[in-house]
Amino acid sequence: MKKLGSLVLVLVMAASMAACSDAKKVENKNDGTTTTAASQNADASASQGDSQPAASENDPGSVEVTLDTKDNFVFKYENVDITLGAEPTEILAKLGEAKSKLDVPSCAHDGTDHVYTYNNMVLTVYQATGAETGYISDVRLSSDLVATPEGLEIGMTTDDAVAKYGDADKATDTTWIYKRGTSELMLTISANKIVAIEYMIP
């Protein structure tokens, strides 16, 4: 039984590392340019000054990371509002105990991703190195038993996505991205079907 548990943990960590190394190419519909997730992160870091670590006056060794969440996407899970970029303590308390938790080095930033798995959803909290807390950086729907607040589910069509959200801000044949505030909603597309739904802070 212990061997099986170890194997599952290794597979999860391997998948996480693979996701880190898989740069997502996204085409801007307005100008036809192509960017990668890595360059998007660099652009976001340069433009979002309020999301960068800031040394505390009382404790120069600690950092504080805050985001402007006013216009961000909000995912509702079992009557709990999960705002992308929000401080996680209260939200995690309302969600209750996760099925599992995994702590891994962050793919995009200097720090740790705390990955919480629930029924039909995986939530990630990013915590910068030296920070006392973090923010909700990613929410991934893991089945078609949950939907976005606008009613989009895995398995629906791209026409459904357009009806609920309009045209994507960035798109390729396989990926559509919608932006709100400092957050994004990414739809993975295959044969005009939505095969994955993920909210994120780039």
Q: Is residue 56 part of a domain?
A: no
Burial track 71-86 (b if 16+ CB lie within 10 A, e otherwise): ebbbbebeeeebbbbb
pLDDT of the residue at 107: 85
pLDDT value of position 117: 98
Phi then psi dihedrals of residue 163, to 5 deg: -65, -35
Q: Give domain status of residue 86, yes or no.
A: yes
Residue 83 in 3-state DSSP? Answer: strand
Residue 144 lies in a domain: yes
Does residue 1 form part of some domain? no
The pLDDT, as a whole number, for residue 109 is 85
Q: What is the pTM of this model?
A: 0.71
- Contact predicate 133/126, CB 8 Å: no
- Rounded Cα–Cα distance for residues 32 and 185 (Å): 20
Tell me if 11 is assigned to some domain.
Answer: no
CATH number for 175 = 2.60.460
Does the residue 14 lie in any domain? Answer: no
Please indicate, yes or no, if residue 7 is contained in any of the structural domains. Answer: no
From first to last of its 202 residues, what are the pLDDT tens digits of the chain? 444 444 444 444 444 444 454 433 333 334 444 443 333 443 444 344 444 444 444 444 444 556 789 999 999 999 999 999 999 999 999 999 999 999 999 988 899 999 999 999 999 999 999 999 999 999 999 999 999 999 999 999 999 999 999 999 999 999 999 999 999 999 999 999 999 999 999 9
Q: What is the pLDDT of residue 44?
A: 40
Residue 17 is predicted with a pLDDT of 43
What tokens were used for 129?
A: 């190195």
| Structural domain boundaries enclosing 167 | 26-51+62-200
Number of domains in the chain: 1
The verdict on residue 13 lying in a domain is no
